[in-house]
Amino acid sequence: MMTTHTPLLDVRGLNAWYDRSHVVQDVSFQVHAGEIVTLMGRNGAGKTTTLRTLMGLVTKCSGSAVFAGQDLLTQAAHARFHAGFAYVPEDRRIVPSLTVRENLQLGLLASRRKVDIDARIEVIAETFPRLKERLSQEATSMSGGEQQMLAIARAMMAEPRMILLDEPSEGIMPVLVDEMFELFARMKAQGITILLVEQNVARALSVSDRAYILDQGLIVHEGSAQALLADEAIQNQYCAV
């Protein structure tokens, strides 16, 4: 989905450090409203650090990241959430002692909007039919894939404009990976913008509009998802595990 309109997220010259380690180096990319854009690359390339920096979890950084007209890097993490920015980390962070419904309710805990929580859960449950059957079940009794869906559903409770997803298919059985990527296609159809970090290159590119490849903290290639999906040489060079 190429467009000349102002991007929803415009990242320019992003740098991030862990102590003295310069992990993300002068990274620039754009995500337009309604797109799925994937950040690709080997482990350690800087993909997760990029997401964490955008979300305010890595504070030693420079550059700019303009989201809906506001520079995220000048805002506290909670302000980014209120601006419509959501993040689903790789470790999911499901609360063990709570049910699926109660975990979903946490997605609105910090929201300033007045929302009918039960009605919002009903809407989310229609998008996540596997969760609809398990609302009263303890969340951590579900499989890893179902917990990942719950983490994504919880992020969607506050109706964000963009969701950052970090390795959503990691450690999930293949049948649920299929469901996961079908879910991303449905989310896109609903107008949700997604910035995706994913090691399953073929599946990620199959639902994406565009992709950027990171290598040692630098963007080394970018293009349409279809072009990158057809370019096995580039995939083998930069994305093979």
What CATH number does residue 86 fall under?
3.40.50.300
- Our count of domains for the chain comes to 1
Is-above-0.75 flag for pTM? yes
What DSSP character marks residue 151?
H
The closest alpha carbon to 39, from 148, 185, 177, 198, belongs to: 198
Are 61 and 45 spatial neighbours (Cβ–Cβ below 8 Å)?
Answer: no
- pLDDT reported for residue 212: 97
Residue 45: CB atoms within 10 A of its CB come to: 24
- pLDDT reported for residue 241: 60
* Structural domain includes residue 193: yes
* Structural domain includes residue 200: yes
Nearest-angstrom CA–CA distance, 1 and 225: 10
* Structural domain includes residue 172: yes
**Given the structure tokens 């040489």, which residue do they identify?**
233
Nearest-angstrom CA–CA distance, 239 and 108: 36
* Structural domain includes residue 183: yes
| 41-64 pLDDT, tens digit each | 998 999 999 999 999 999 999 999
- ∠ CA 155-33-147, nearest 5°, is 20
Residue 23's SS3 state is strand
- Range of 223's domain? 9-94+159-238
* Structural domain includes residue 31: yes
Residue 198: CB atoms within 10 A of its CB come to: 25
Token pair in block for residue 124: 């989310």
Nearest-angstrom CA–CA distance, 175 and 36: 22
Nearest-angstrom CA–CA distance, 53 and 166: 13
* Structural domain includes residue 203: yes
* Structural domain includes residue 166: yes
Q: For each of the chain's 241 residues, which pLDDT tens digit applies?
A: 444 488 999 999 999 999 999 999 999 999 999 999 999 999 899 999 999 999 999 999 999 999 999 999 999 988 898 889 999 998 878 998 899 999 999 888 767 667 788 899 999 988 898 899 899 999 999 998 899 999 999 999 989 999 999 999 988 888 889 889 999 998 999 899 999 999 889 999 999 999 999 999 999 999 999 999 898 888 888 887 6
* Structural domain includes residue 82: yes
- pLDDT reported for residue 110: 64
